[in-house]
Amino acid sequence: MSSTAVIGAQWGDEGKGKVIDIIAAKAAVVVRSQGGNNAGHTVVSHGETYKLHLIPSGILYKNTLCLVGAGVVLDPADFIGEIDNLSARGISFDNLRVDYRAHIIMPWHTLIDRLSEEHRPDNAKIGTTGRGIGPCYADKYERVGIRLYDLIHPDVFREKARTIGKLKNEIITKIYGGTPVDIDKTIAEYLALGEKLKGYAADVSVLVHEARKAGKTIMFEGAQATLLDIDWGTYPYVTSSHPVSAGVALGSGVGPNSVDEIIGVAKAYTTRVGAGPFPTELFDQTGETIRQNGFEFGTTTGRPRRTGWFDAVILRHSVRVNGLTSIAVNKLDTLSGIGDLKICTAYEKPDGSRLTEFPPTIEELAECKPIYETLTGFDDDIGACRTFEELPTACQAYIKRTEELCDCKISMVGVGPDREQIILRK
C-alpha cells in the first residue's frame, strides 16, 4: 500500500501529465483535489494524445477509480463536454466520482473573471485563464457558493441560483457595465447538466479513506503548481487554490499523513504563463528556441509561454513548502543543441547581497537578478536513452548538479513526449 502525490514544482505546465500517467498506471485510485478546468494535462499513451482538463488521468485505465475531490471547482458544461469527447474515443466513465462538496462554476464566475481582468490596468492584469476559477473560489470562502449537492437538488439549486445570481448581476452591471446573466436560462441549462452529473456524485473523503484502509495504491494528481499557490506562489499572480502538497489532503478530505510520497515535477528549464516577475526569463533566440523545441504553448489557452533557465532557488522553495520526497525533471531533450546551459543558483539583490531562498513578495522578486552557474551543453538526441548511464556526460552532470542545488533526489528524467521516454533512477 502506498500513496503518491504529484505536484507541479515551478509555475505549471511541467509535464505533470506524463509523470502522473506513470504513477496512475500502478494506482487503483486517482484523485484530483484542487483547481478546475484552468488545468490542462496532455497525456500521450500508445501514440494517442489526450488533453485532460478536469477528469483525472486515471480515466485512461479501465479499472482505476477516478475521484474529483471537494477542493475542486467544477464547470459542469465543460466537465460533461470532456466526458462526451473521451467517451467518443472509447473511454469508460463508470469509475468516476465527484464530491458533493465541490463548488460549481456558474456563468457569473466566468463573466466576472473576464470583466475584472479587462478592468485592471495593463500592469496589474493577472492573465487568468478566464475560466471563472478565482470568482468561484472567492464565493466559496464568502460562503455564497453553489456546490454539486445543490446542483443535483433542483429546488435547492433554483433558490440559490436566483438569490446569488441577482446579487452577481448587480456587480456585473453596476460595477463593470456588463450584460447581466440570464438567470432563468442558466437555471434550466444547469439543471439539465445536474441531471447528467447526478450519477457521479459521492463522498470522496470516504472513498479515499476506504481505499487506503483496503491497502489500495492511491495517486493524488496535482494541478497547477507551487508558484501558482495562493499562499506559497508569486501572489497576486497565482491561481486561487492550493496546488502545494497540503492542498491534496484538504481537497480530498484525508489527513496529511495519508500521503506517503510527494514527487515534484519540474522542467529542465523554467516557463510561466501570464504576468509576474520571472528572474531567469530569456528574451533572446535561446528563449525562442526553447519555446519552439519544447512546444511551449498553453494546453488550455494556446498562449505562448514565457521561457527561461532552470532556477534552483524556485526548486528549493518547492522542496521545502511541499516536503518533496523526490523530483522528476522533464523535457531535458528540449535543451539539446542550444549551447552552454545555465542554472540559477541564487539571486543578487539591488544592494549586492546574495539571496538563496525564494523571497515572499513579487516586489522583492522583481528586483532579484539571477546568479548563474554555466554547465557544458549537449547536441545529442537523447530521446532513446532509458538509463541514466546512457545519457551524454553533459546531461548527467546537469542532472547531478541540479540535484545538489535543490537538495532533493531526482528520481525521473524525461527525455521526450511519449510515456516511454522517461528514465527512472534508483
- By annotation, the residues acting in catalysis are 13, 41
- Cβ proximity to ligand IMP: between 33 and 205 the closer is 33
Q: How many residues bind ligand IMP (CB under 6 A)?
A: 20
Q: Which stretch binds ligand IMP (CB under 6 A): 32-40, 145-153, 334-342, 393-401?
A: 32-40
Q: Which stretch binds ligand IMP (CB under 6 A): 122-130, 148-156, 211-219, 383-391?
A: 122-130
Q: Which residues pair with 50 in a beta bridge?
A: 43
Grid coordinates belonging to 210:
476506504
Among 151, 228, 244, 249, binds ligand IMP (CB under 6 A): 228
Q: Does 273 bind ligand IMP (CB under 6 A)?
A: yes
Q: Which stretch binds ligand IMP (CB under 6 A): 26-34, 36-44, 166-174, 354-362?
A: 36-44
- Cβ proximity to ligand IMP: between 124 and 424 the closer is 124
267 in helix, strand or coil? strand
Q: Does 316 bind ligand IMP (CB under 6 A)?
A: no
Of residues 37 through 66, those in contact with ligand IMP by CB under 6 A are 38-40
Q: Does 131 bind ligand IMP (CB under 6 A)?
A: yes
For strands 48-52 and 41-45, give the pairing: antiparallel
Q: Does 417 bind ligand IMP (CB under 6 A)?
A: no
Among 7, 9, 12, 161, binds ligand IMP (CB under 6 A): 12
Grid coordinates belonging to 384:
532513446
Q: Does 237 bind ligand IMP (CB under 6 A)?
A: yes
The answer to whether the beta carbons of residues 331 and 254 sit under 8 Å apart is no
Q: Does 140 bind ligand IMP (CB under 6 A)?
A: no
Give the chain's radius of gyration (CA, Å). 22
Cα(first)–Cα(last) distance of the chain, in Å?
19
Among 133, 262, 263, 412, binds ligand IMP (CB under 6 A): 133
- Cβ proximity to ligand IMP: between 73 and 341 the closer is 73
Q: Does 6 bind ligand IMP (CB under 6 A)?
A: no
Q: Does 136 bind ligand IMP (CB under 6 A)?
A: no
Q: How far apart are CA 358 and CA 225, in angstroms?
A: 15
In the complex, the smallest distance separating the C-beta of residue 370 from ligand IMP, rounded to whole angstroms, is 21
Say which amino acid occupies 226. Answer: T
The answer to whether the beta carbons of residues 5 and 220 sit under 8 Å apart is yes
Closest CA to 314 of 352, 266, 351: 266
Q: Does 239 bind ligand IMP (CB under 6 A)?
A: yes
Q: How far apart are CA 110 and CA 132, in angstroms?
A: 4
Among 127, 180, 377, 392, binds ligand IMP (CB under 6 A): 127
What is the CA angle 66-67-69, rounded to 5?
A: 160
Closest CA to 128 of 117, 139, 112, 115: 117
Q: Say if residue 279 is preceded by a cis peptide, omega within 30 of 0.
A: no
Around 227, how many Cα atoms within 13 Å sit in the side-chain half-sphere?
A: 30
Residue 228: phi and psi, rounded to 5, are -105, 5
Q: Does 274 bind ligand IMP (CB under 6 A)?
A: yes
Q: Does 129 bind ligand IMP (CB under 6 A)?
A: yes
Binding site for ligand IMP (CB under 6 A): 12-13, 38-40, 126-129, 131, 133-134, 223-224, 228, 237, 239-240, 273-274
